[in-house]
Structure 1
Amino acid sequence: MKKILKYFLISLVTISLQNCTDDFASINTNPNGITEESLTQMNNNVGNEFQPMFLNVFNITPAWNYQLQQGLMGDVFSGYMTAPTPFAGNVNNQTYALVDGWNGFPWSDAYENVMPQALNVKNAVELGGDPNGVKFVYIANIIKVTAMHRVSDIYGPIRYTKFNDFATTGEYDPQDVAYQAFFDDLGAAIDGLEPFIGETQFTPFDMSAFAGDIAKWRQFANSLRLRLAIRIVKINPALAKAQGELALASNAGLLETEDMVINTGFPHPITVISGSWGDIRMAAEMESILTGFNDGRIETYFNPSADASLAGDYKGIRMGIDITAKGQYLDHASIGSVIDGETLTWMTASEVLFLKAEAALRGWNGAGNVQTNYEAGVTASFAQHGVSGVTAYLADNTSTPADFVDALSPVNNIAYASDVKIAYNAAGTNEEQLEQIITQKWIAMFPDGQEAWSEFRRTGYPRIFPVVVNNSGGTINTNIQVRRINFVENEKNTNGANVTTAVSYLGGSDNGGTRLWWDTGGSNF
């Protein structure tokens, strides 16, 4: 019912936008005739396009859509969570039998509820005749990049730069072209929004905690630019450094003290998936790292196991094991209070500080000191979750991730492949320091498994356990692990020639074993 209501509302927005275009055309022929009432109408119709965008970067409702867009993809591939449910007889994403019927949702959510809406904003502003309306275009483009870099980081090539032209809308960009377009759109928004600082016209339509504050939207866009610069550092270090240093030097600033949080009006979908359905639980890697580090955030991230035999321990499940019935691991640790409320986080201050730490490690101008940023990132994460004891935590130079012991079957036991520690080792090699940075960044970004999976693929950190059961038929190497998701079936059926061209951009087959453009598999330095 909620899904029907959502699409009904979106349809009303589209109809209202179409109905107002006659007014826009009339106004556009006589710029001196723009009335305050007409501008208000234009702003409302443009503004109404933002709700579906806000609610589909991460799909908020229904919960099963989020489960397929995010939960049974990035959330499980990242080592954050594991489903105790043996979907399709345990032949599913978790055992590398990638399910086409599941894996199209990141694509459809973006191409039904983000890309068309951003285009509608652009077209309506152009028709409206008010030059101040461009601020709506800039904000729409920031949200569009937020959504579409995630889509690209799942599939690789995407439809982006040619989407707005009907004649070319089906054509794909190679991932390097898409990333350059992301940087261009973000740079234009950061610069273009500066004259609008202090204006409040976007406030009624802003579902974020920024409440229409243009200065904060510039900060977010600039922080996103830094994220994407770090993402491509191994494949194009010159472009990465140039974009990263632009972000570090920009007068927009960075989100170092405030998180980017969306007020959705719906319970977090994981509350349904974990609490009502029992379809997601703590992953083995989370157990190993958080318990090994004696990390107080575990009490916010997870609930103690309900299984009485586990004596209140936080027990995780290793992904890709032989599960025959949901009840086997159902009473392992469920997701905790981190998902309470009706908000969803797009980016945290702690992530930005860890981005700065890596930028400093790589010698980028303006990044500051590596250790200072690292410790500030951990501190910000503890503060975000209301956890005490960060000073003692940062001083801990002995704790390491624990080996994983399966509560039911020793065949699933596995040693953690590193003795990475918490206290920052400034004398360590670049690789050792990067592992510390990314491990703590991984902890801090929970529960955004999509971003965590991307960082694992880029760096190899933290050490995600390989699956025990690999049903990929040889397309995904057990040790290299899943690198991407196949292009969606609907695209192959309706846009086949362009999909064939997109496959040629991959440098490999259209399967889960092919690395993305920025995923080089080589050294981090």
Structure 2
Amino acid sequence: MKNKYIKIFCVAIVGALTLASCDKGFEELNTNPNALTDPALKSMFTLAEIYVDGQDFSNTRGNNIYAAQYVQHFASLGGGSKYTYSSEYSGALFGETYGKGLNQIFQLLSVTPNSPENSNMVQALRIMKVFLFQKLTDTYGEVPYFEAGKGYNGNIYAPKYDTQEAIYNDLLKELDEAGTALDANKAFVGNADLYYQSDVTRWKKLANSLMLRVAMRLSKVNPAKAKEYVEKAVAKGVFTSNDDSLVLKHDAGPAGVKTNPITSSWVRNDLNGGESNIKFSKTFIDLLKNTNDPRLRIYAKLEATGNNNPASQQGLPNDAKEFPGGDKKLFSDPNTSTVLRLDAPTLIMSYAEIEFILAEAVVRGWNVGGTAQKHYEDGVKAAMEVLTIFGDKVPAVTAAEYNTYITTYPFKTAGTDAQKIEQIITQKWIVLLFNGFEAFSEYRRTGYPVLVPVNDPTGETKGTIPRRLIYDQSELITNEANYKAAIQRQGLDLMTTRIWWDKV
């Protein structure tokens, strides 16, 4: 992270301690903030931005061990690769999001004066709230939404769960309203904004780009509404280059809030000179090797030897019961010189993802401008070029390498719509590396990339790829009636239960 952000982070951490932001659950979410007599609004805003990306707890358990292994970015001898169940791992995102990210946002909203000088901060918080709630509802299905956070001003400590349809309708409304209300002529938070340093134009693009993602999720369950909001987002203005991508920078230490929440626990506790129990999946490595993808040298290496030669990379099969050959060091790890540095930035939302959504929209016949081929090619190029955010220890992808790749594997202009969408989503799956939750959602929405399920006797799904995570089981104690009402509407609290937008 640039030096000018370090002090901001430190202030944010102090603010976090002052606010006693807790780890999980609705008790913490609804902690009475009346003790706050002089809230440091900018510091609280900074911490809210950090929490949008999640912390080690949910990223290690829900992302690395579950979602990213479901979609075969990574593999291990158990856990997500075999669809086993752990209440701690499955409930990690639920508890941490309500207890930290949403807690911080609702607490800040409850103490922020309703005045013009705070308007832009409020709109930004609404956008961040959508990020968190979309991840939650996509992962679990129905979740507490409209009554969440009402402990601050409504004395509701056991919030009811809302249908996913109602949540999605409100997510779209929030993004539409917040993006429009952002005003470059009003005050913001200066450099306390780690995302865009209070550049309102870029925040507007973020709101619209997130609207694009939210809307496309409805492509099967409500294609008319999906089309309406995809077109509206494009008309309002979405990301147009990698400069618009939402990138959160990190520091190498101390461990905790300042370090990358995906990489820090992995590097500190598990990687151990190539002895990691989690490796790149054979599915991921083979796809990149077989297509001579120039990104492979940036993504992967054999940690024990430092070898990032693409020809040497080897992925672990997701159905493996032991490491073939018995040596973990022979299998590819995320590259600690680039993507797995402790201070590696987080690519929260990329311009490449937006281009792939637009390419799919064109295939579906929606009015977003351009051709599917052009959006696809621009997406692949952006996905390769954005890797420069991970530093210069490994050579960047060159223009010549991109040209060779896109010429060798061109967009399937003569293919069927299904073939085109498969090609688009497969590229999106690559760029969503380390964002397992989003890749898991896109897999369920589209069925791509085509993955071979694992049928292991330790698994919970009888050989089918999970469709959701199981709720935080503390809800059976603290919010039992509302939990039971949700599963009565949605279906049993199982990994195989499909959520509202997940249609066959």
Normalising TM by the smaller chain, what interval? Answer: 0.7 to 0.9
The aligned counterpart of 1:263 is 249
Contact 2:212–2:357 (Cα < 8 Å) also in 1: yes
The aligned counterpart of 2:339 is 338
Specify which of 280, 290, 293 is matched with residue 292 of structure 1. Answer: 290
Contact 1:477–1:513 (Cα < 8 Å) also in 2: no
SS in 1 for 2:144: coil
Letter in 1 for 2:316: I
| Root-mean-square deviation (Å) | 2.8
Letter in 2 for 1:74: A
**1 CA distance for matches of 2:143 and 2:219?**
20
Cα 1:466–1:12, aligned 2, differ >3 Å: closer, same or farther? same
Cα 1:200–1:392, aligned 2, differ >3 Å: closer, same or farther? farther
What does 1:101-500 correspond to in 2, within 5 Å? 101-125=88-112, 128-163=113-148, 164=150, 165-167=154-156, 170-193=159-182, 196-197=183-184, 199=186, 201-208=188-195, 210-250=196-236, 252-258=237-243, 259-265=245-251, 266-276=258-268, 277=270, 278-304=276-302, 306=304, 313-323=312-322, 328-336=327-335, 337-340=338-341, 341-385=343-387, 386-388=396-398, 389-396=401-408, 422-473=409-460, 476-478=461-463, 480-500=464-484
The aligned counterpart of 1:414 is none
SS in 1 for 2:242: coil
Unaligned runs of 5+ in 1: 22-40, 397-421
**2 CA distance for matches of 1:367 and 1:58?**
31
Contact 2:360–2:424 (Cα < 8 Å) also in 1: yes
The aligned counterpart of 1:513 is 496
**1 CA distance for matches of 2:422 and 2:202?**
30
Q: State the aligned residue count.
A: 453
SS in 1 for 2:312: coil
1:12 aligns to 2:18 (yes or no): yes
Contact 1:220–1:255 (Cα < 8 Å) also in 2: no
Q: What's the CA shift for 1:53?
A: 2.3
The aligned counterpart of 1:32 is none
Q: What's the CA shift for 1:138?
A: 1.0
**2 CA distance for matches of 1:361 and 1:58?**
31
Comparing 138-147 and 297-306, the one that deviates more:
297-306
Q: What's the CA shift for 1:288?
A: 1.9
**2 CA distance for matches of 1:6 and 1:433?**
45
Per-residue CA shift, 1:21-67, capped at 9, x if unaligned? 5xxxxxxxxxxxxxxxxxxx7xx62222223322223334xx45521
Letter in 1 for 2:222: N
Cα 1:143–1:470, aligned 2, differ >3 Å: closer, same or farther? farther
Cα 1:377–1:325, aligned 2, differ >3 Å: closer, same or farther? closer
Q: What's the CA shift for 1:8?
A: 7.2
Comparing 352-361 and 280-289, the one that deviates more:
280-289
Q: TM-score, length-normalised on structure 2? A: 0.83
SS in 2 for 1:485: coil
Q: What's the CA shift for 1:199?
A: 4.6
The aligned counterpart of 1:67 is 60
Per-residue CA shift, 1:107-160, capped at 9, x if unaligned? 1111011222222232223xx252331221111111111112111111111111
Per-residue CA shift, 1:192-231, capped at 9, x if unaligned? 10xx2155532232122x1111111111111010011111
Contact 2:164–2:500 (Cα < 8 Å) also in 1: yes
Q: TM-score, length-normalised on structure 1? A: 0.80
Q: What's the CA shift for 1:462?
A: 0.7
Letter in 2 for 1:82: A
Cα 1:59–1:287, aligned 2, differ >3 Å: closer, same or farther? same
Higher CA-based Rg:
1
Cα 1:179–1:296, aligned 2, differ >3 Å: closer, same or farther? same
Q: What's the CA shift for 1:74?
A: 1.6
SS in 1 for 2:160: coil
Contact 1:273–1:279 (Cα < 8 Å) also in 2: no
Letter in 2 for 1:502: A
Q: What's the CA shift for 1:293?
A: 0.8
The aligned counterpart of 1:54 is 49
Letter in 1 for 2:218: I
Per-residue CA shift, 1:91-112, capped at 9, x if unaligned? x433222110222110111101
Contact 2:231–2:367 (Cα < 8 Å) also in 1: yes
**1 CA distance for matches of 2:222 and 2:456?**
35
**1 CA distance for matches of 2:489 and 2:191?**
42
Cα 1:326–1:150, aligned 2, differ >3 Å: closer, same or farther? farther
Unaligned runs of 5+ in 2: 1-10, 22-31, 252-257, 271-275, 388-395
Letter in 2 for 1:177: A
Comparing 137-146 and 300-309, the one that deviates more:
300-309
Q: What's the CA shift for 1:274?
A: 4.3
